Amino acid sequence: MNRHAKDHGLRWPIVLGFLLLVATISAFGQEATIVGTVTDPSGAAVPKASITITNNDTGVVRTVVSNGDGQFVAPDLHIGRYSVRATASGFKIAEQTGLVLTVGDRTRVDFGLQVGNTQETVTVEATAAAVHTDSGEVSNLITGQQISQLATHARSLYELFNLAPGASSIQNNVGFTPVSGDSAVSINGQRAGHNLQLIDGGENLDRGGSSGSVMPSIDSLAEFRNMTSNYSAEYGLSSAATITTVIKSGSKQFHASGWEFFRNDALNARNYFNPAPAPVAELRFNVRGFNLGGQVPAWKSHPTFFFYNMEWRGEIDGGLLNVPVPLASMYPDANGAGTGAVIPTTFNGTASVITVPTGIATLGANCPGGVPPAGIVPGSPFPGNTIPACLIDPNATALLNAGGKYGGIFPKPTNGVSFQGGNNSPTNLREEIARVDHQFSEKFSVFGHWVSEQISQTYGTTQWSNDNVPTIADVFGNPSYSAVAHATYIISPTLLNEVAFNYNGNRIHIIPNNLVSAPSSFTFNRLFTGPNVDNRIPQIQLAGTVGSIYNANWTPWNNKADDFQIRDDVSWTRGAHQLKFGFSWAIYKKTQDAFANTEGNFKFDGSFTGMDYADFLLGFAQQYQEDAVKISGQWNNISTAAYLQDNWRVNNRLTLNLGLRWDGIPHTYEANQQSSNFYPNLYDFGNAATFDSNGHICSANSVPACPGGPSPGLGSSPNPILTGIQFYTNGIGIGGKNGIPNGLVNNHWNNWGPRVGFAYDLTGRGKTILRGGFGTMYERIQGNDMYNGATNPPGNLQPTLNGVSLSNPGLNVANGNVITAAALPVLPLGITGTDANNYKPPVSYQYSGGVQQALGAHAVMSVSYVGSQGRHENDYRAINLPPLSLLPAMVAAGALDNTQVQYLGFGGIRLAENEGNAHYNSLQASMTGTVKNDLHLQVGYTLSKAVDSTTSNGSGGDLQNNTNPYAGWRYDVGPSQFDRRNIFFTSFVYDIPLFRGDSSRLVKSTVGGWQVSGIVTEESGAPLDLGVTSGTTAASIITNSGMRPDLTGSISYPKTVNQWFAGNFSKPACVTGPDCYGNLGFDAIRGPGRNNFNLSLLKNFAFTERFHMEFRAESFNAFNHTQFKGDKNSGGISTNFGSSNFGQVTNAFPGREFQLAVKLIY
């Protein structure tokens, strides 16, 4: 209750602040600009001509005056339909009508005035498609018609990001919530997580997951522009694309609509890998909503326009569980009181004869006299394959009968030895969007929006874990918000000021569901006291014959993010120079729980009896881990920027875009000094750790005691829960203490990004434009690298104990000794998140050159070379390594020797370096236009090559490990995960003109009114990286690393389900050291290509001129073409050498799915 109260308590202060600010403040990038030149019949400039710009949708008027060069500029205009009129003494009035302004566009409207009476008007209709004569920017517009009429699988904007040359996707299953939305779309070779989304100019980005904070309803959006290269200096904090979206506004006429979209598994074709008669996963998909907009009638002299959108989205995304679980007959006393547990000699086709453990001091401790029953002989099979009742750990019995929906931590089998059942994940979202536009005067206007999403997702098993049974699940709550307040003040006809306040944020609450708390009969002596406040049942992993896993994970888990931005932008026309300059300041505040398994984690793998379940019944765990504390970090990230942009109209044929941007991007820091970092330069080799005979660091707890006494370099934790526990802290620094920066690394302030572009009219007729440019874009580091630092030593301790008791993990079952937390040996601890001291922000250098050609009045074709270079790309490298020459011996021994690593006293150290490079080269072609106002067509083609190192798909940031830590990121340079060499797409909306001109409304409504639309995609395969999983390898010895196989000869592609690729692969010999990681290159395999047709058929029933109904039938993968998966994000091909299905296709995209919809539109 309190958790939800806090969420709603946050909403109203933000709403109040929004309402107060809307009277004074503004945003950027969501508007359009009109530029032009006024000349007389001789071509001379006409100064002081009055330019009247009228928004035909709202009636709002803007007036500017041409300067001494005859030039004028009108920035910050709302998108929509306009007419522009030029008047000057001695000349006829000139007017252009039918002008459509789109988001982020610079539209040129030139006037050649004719001598005559000012009462005469010469009117020209604007062309439907115009070339860009004033900018070298590479961008792509998706219109409101495309957003509304094109079928998208989840009614998701993310799917439309692919409709741009240079876009390459490895999207798997695009959902309708921000977190599940899967925005894995790379633009021009840059990483997907480096794209920036804007709504009405305000940032919409979850900096942890790199997706949007909110996902506005498709029906609330007017249009969006995907700016992919060489864009203006006013945009920053993204080294890839900037995608600016506009929410609909009200207009003079009242508009309203309502809709429902519906999908059901009964309408769909089967997946290739789920043939009949296998059950089909349940699917229920419903999106319903309404919107309305118009003008407030009471304020017509100072018009106020409103738009409101409400939508409910619901989905049951069915899943099927099929997991082996213990048979009911295997439960204690299943065959009568005192009969113990009978284990079948064969379980799920595997021999399961169990053996009495040897060398166990505690065996029989609960039996009469503390002695095992007669016939129980260590090393011999259990008589009758039965575990006597007195040998069964009472905690095992308590957990198996703990209650809940399934009676205990494991469900009973429903089919043989397996539990088979639904694993549905119902998702519900309720969204409200409101936008208000108000015109105080011709000089002063404001607008603002508020978006609120309330999201709840229920999972059948716990997410982000290895849990595979439905006895424990979780509920994922994700309320999300966005607010923008925007004001424009026209100081003079040549000077305009904008100020902006933007907010976006979200919450994540993951709450465990079903069987969570331990029963009263479960008595458990944890190592640490305090943090397991919910009395959660510890994780129980059966890692062997049975394989069931109960895992409540680290829930409940909370995440809170708030992003505030203030900016000011000034537009100033000075002669032939159209200047824009401004600054911004933003603070991102995040509170996030660390991933901490404070409930404990037992692993039973058959080490004692030969069967995992039998070990569990005896209470003999091969391994136990427990986090001592659960830290909640409070993180702050501040971003400051300033820019100057000069769009210089050199002459009537040449425009230069000259910009310079500065980004101050200090590193994220933890406000309470809870984060720490390992610094190689602070490690004192003179205080290197010394070790006792057990391989532990010498301390007062060493048994036997070390001859030289405790090791140098020992320290303590500032956390009171860990008082008295020693850590090895040589080289560790805590943020904000002892000269360590708050953000742990040096901040980089010298981030200057020049932007240069040009547009040259080759013929002087505004039909053929040569365009190009160069830009430097810096990326704000997303933060997950720092959030991991909260669990570094000495902030937390996660000891690993082997051979312990289920009732008391401090009890060693072999010798009967009990260890307490205070007596724990000092172990070489691993550090999973640490940053290099010279950590640099990623940067991309973008460049392009091409030609844009008008094809008549209604179409434009573009052909361009587009390229980029990426520097300081994120990568993670293991740095605490043994000498490479010693690695083969450790692999042979099956364990890392911590006394031979570089930084003695530590286990694995994972260092974020930001040192990777990338490059991209492409030929991009596109055509956009209309045919007779019936067919809107967009076609795009990209021929490209993208090279990167340890590419990430953007989900959760970057966070990718180097495969070979000795070689670093250079070992992983190869095709980017997004490197699809050929990508073709087309989208179309065709209004069939059948019976459109019939005089009978009845005929037009019943027989006419048909529309077809669709998206067709054809793309070549994405690359895949191979790994090795057989036996002990260098990757299993060195944590946070990987390994690829050796290849002799070349790779071939049979392209069958049972063998997609083939080659003479082998496990690296690992004899000399350099031969331990394989000779196969990074991303050496190509997955399947894909061709897909998403088609819609729409019937429009017109009841009146303004009121009509649309019935829609939409199909995804309309021709039910089998489309095998095969990329990093989607999986689909087994890439682990050594696995039984290596090289086989294992998954496919869905077969044909139908969606039905109805919309009422007024």
pLDDT higher than threshold 70 for residue 4 = no
pLDDT higher than threshold 60 for residue 29 = no
Task: Tell me how far apart the alpha carbons of residues 392 and 408 are, in angstroms, rounded to a whole number.
Answer: 16
Tell me the pLDDT tens digit for each residue of 357-394.
999 998 999 999 999 999 999 999 999 999 999 999 99
User: Which band of pLDDT confidence, cut at 50, 70 and 90, is reported for residue 128?
Assistant: low
Tell me the pLDDT tens digit for each residue of 172-200.
667 777 776 666 788 998 888 888 999 99
Task: Tell me how far apart the alpha carbons of residues 747 and 1002 are, in angstroms, rounded to a whole number.
Answer: 70
Q: Which residues contact 1063 (CB under 8 A, 6 or more apart)?
A: 1047, 1049, 1050, 1051, 1052
pLDDT at position 319 is: 80
Residue 540 sits at the vertex; the CA angle it makes with 534 and 545, to the nearest 5 degrees, is 165
Tell me the pLDDT tens digit for each residue of 625-677.
999 988 888 999 999 999 999 999 999 899 999 999 999 989 889 898 888 99
pLDDT higher than threshold 80 for residue 749 = yes
Domain assignment present for residue 346? The answer is: no
Higher per-residue confidence, 9 vs 424: 424
- Mean pLDDT confidence for 980-991: 96
Domain assignment present for residue 926? The answer is: no
Domain assignment present for residue 104? The answer is: yes
Residue 216 near residue 223 (C-beta atoms within 8 A): no
Task: Tell me how far apart the alpha carbons of residues 819 and 319 are, in angstroms, rounded to a whole number.
Answer: 43
pLDDT at position 509 is: 93
Cα torsion 122, 127, 128, 130: sign: negative
Task: Tell me how far apart the alpha carbons of residues 1140 and 161 are, in angstroms, rounded to a whole number.
Answer: 37
Left, alpha or beta for 583 (phi > 0: left; psi -120 to 50: alpha)?
A: beta
Length of the chain (residues): 1162
Domain assignment present for residue 105? The answer is: yes
Residue type, 48: K
Which residues, listed in sequence order, are joined to residue 140 by a DSSP beta bridge?
Answer: 226
Element (H, E) at 399: helix 394-400
- Nearest CA among 813, 678, 661 for reference residue 740: 678
Task: Tell me how far apart the alpha carbons of residues 700 and 691 are, in angstroms, rounded to a whole number.
Answer: 12
Structure tokens at 1152: 């044909």
pLDDT at position 657 is: 97
Residue 181 near residue 253 (C-beta atoms within 8 A): no
pLDDT at position 224 is: 92
Total Cβ atoms within 10 A of residue 651:
11
pLDDT higher than threshold 70 for residue 1 = no
User: Which band of pLDDT confidence, cut at 50, 70 and 90, is reported for residue 588?
Assistant: very high
Which residues, listed in sequence order, are joined to residue 835 by a DSSP beta bridge?
Answer: 912
Structure tokens at 303: 């018009």
User: Which band of pLDDT confidence, cut at 50, 70 and 90, is reported for residue 278?
Assistant: confident
Domain assignment present for residue 81? The answer is: yes
Tell me the pLDDT tens digit for each residue of 389-438.
999 999 999 999 999 989 999 999 998 889 988 888 899 999 999 999 99
Residue 708 near residue 698 (C-beta atoms within 8 A): yes
Structure tokens at 679: 């610094």
- Mean pLDDT confidence for 466-493: 93
Cα separation values, 1119 from 251, 801, 899, Å: 41, 56, 61
Q: What is the DSSP string of 1100-1128?
A: EEESSSS-EEEEEEEEESTT----B--BT
Residue with tokens 């009462």: 119
SS3 for 730-789, per residue? Answer: CCEEECCCCCCCCCCCCCCCCCEEEEEEEEEECCCCCCEEEEEEEEEEECCCCCHHHHHH
Residue with tokens 């101050």: 664
Domain assignment present for residue 99? The answer is: yes
Task: Tell me how far apart the alpha carbons of residues 262 and 241 are, in angstroms, rounded to a whole number.
Answer: 33
**Cα-flanking dihedrals φ and ψ of residue 612, to 5°?**
-60, -45
pLDDT at position 957 is: 46
**Cα-flanking dihedrals φ and ψ of residue 5, to 5°?**
-65, -35
Higher per-residue confidence, 740 vs 782: 740
Cα torsion 75, 77, 82, 83: sign: negative
Cα separation values, 766 from 96, 757, 853, Å: 16, 18, 9
Q: Which residues contact 267 (CB under 8 A, 6 or more apart)?
A: 1153, 1154, 1156
Tally the C-alpha atoms within 13 A of residue 135's C-alpha that lie toward its C-beta: 23
Among 462-466, 814-818, 861-865, top mean pLDDT goes to 861-865
SS3 for 233-297, per residue? Answer: CCCCCCCCCEEEEEECCCCCCCEEEEEEEEEEHHHCCCCCCCCCCCCCCCEEEEEEEEEEEEECH
User: How many domains is the chain partitioned into structurally?
Assistant: 1
pLDDT higher than threshold 90 for residue 352 = yes
| Domain CATH for 113 | 2.60.40.1120
User: Which band of pLDDT confidence, cut at 50, 70 and 90, is reported for residue 721?
Assistant: confident
Q: What is the DSSP string of 1044-1062?
A: --EEEEEEE----SS-S-E
- Mean pLDDT confidence for 751-765: 95
Domain assignment present for residue 40? The answer is: yes
- Mean pLDDT confidence for 849-860: 92
Domain assignment present for residue 92? The answer is: yes
pLDDT at position 317 is: 83
What distance lies between CA 1161 and its chain's CA centroid?
Answer: 34
SS3 for 370-389, per residue? Answer: HCCCCCCCCCCECHHHEECH
Which percentage of the chain shows pLDDT scores above 70? Answer: 95
Total Cβ atoms within 10 A of residue 330:
22
pLDDT higher than threshold 90 for residue 986 = yes
Residue 461 sits at the vertex; the CA angle it makes with 460 and 462, to the nearest 5 degrees, is 130
> Mean pLDDT score of the chain, rounded to an integer?
89
Q: What 3-state class would DSSP assign to 720?
A: helix
pLDDT at position 182 is: 62
- Mean pLDDT confidence for 140-167: 91
Element (H, E) at 1034: helix 1034-1037
Q: What is the DSSP string of 309-339?
A: EEEEEEEEE--EEEEE---GGGSTTTTSTT-
Total Cβ atoms within 10 A of residue 28:
27
Cα separation values, 432 from 383, 1095, 1100, Å: 67, 29, 27
**Cα-flanking dihedrals φ and ψ of residue 36, to 5°?**
-175, 175
Kindly report which listed range (490-494, 834-838, 974-978) carries the lowest average pLDDT score: 834-838
pLDDT higher than threshold 70 for residue 463 = yes
Q: Which residues contact 73 (CB under 8 A, 6 or more apart)?
A: 33, 34, 35, 36, 64, 494, 571, 573, 578
pLDDT at position 483 is: 97
Structure tokens at 1120: 């039910």
pLDDT at position 302 is: 86
Max intra-chain CA distance, the chain: 120
- Nearest CA among 522, 603, 383, 803 for reference residue 372: 383
Task: Tell me how far apart the alpha carbons of residues 1139 and 1133 are, in angstroms, rounded to a whole number.
Answer: 12
pLDDT higher than threshold 80 for residue 781 = no
Residue 245 near residue 224 (C-beta atoms within 8 A): yes
- Mean pLDDT confidence for 100-116: 89
- Mean pLDDT confidence for 794-823: 91
Which residues of 530-631 form beta strands (DSSP E)?
A: 539-542, 549-550, 557-574, 577-593, 601-604, 620-625
- Mean pLDDT confidence for 857-883: 92
What is the rounded end-to-end Cα distance, in angstroms, of the chain? 41
Structure tokens at 347: 């379980």
Task: Tell me how far apart the alpha carbons of residues 235 and 197 are, in angstroms, rounded to a whole number.
Answer: 11
pLDDT higher than threshold 70 for residue 2 = no
In which domain, by residue range, is 46 found? 32-131
pLDDT at position 952 is: 56
Kindly report which listed range (24-38, 612-626, 664-678) carries the lowest average pLDDT score: 24-38
Task: Tell me how far apart the alpha carbons of residues 951 and 957 are, in angstroms, rounded to a whole number.
Answer: 11
Q: Which residues contact 635 (CB under 8 A, 6 or more apart)?
A: 588, 589, 590, 591, 592, 668, 669, 670, 671, 783, 786, 787
- Nearest CA among 325, 1156, 362, 440 for reference residue 811: 362
Tell me the pLDDT tens digit for each residue of 941-974.
999 999 998 765 444 445 678 889 999 889 999 9
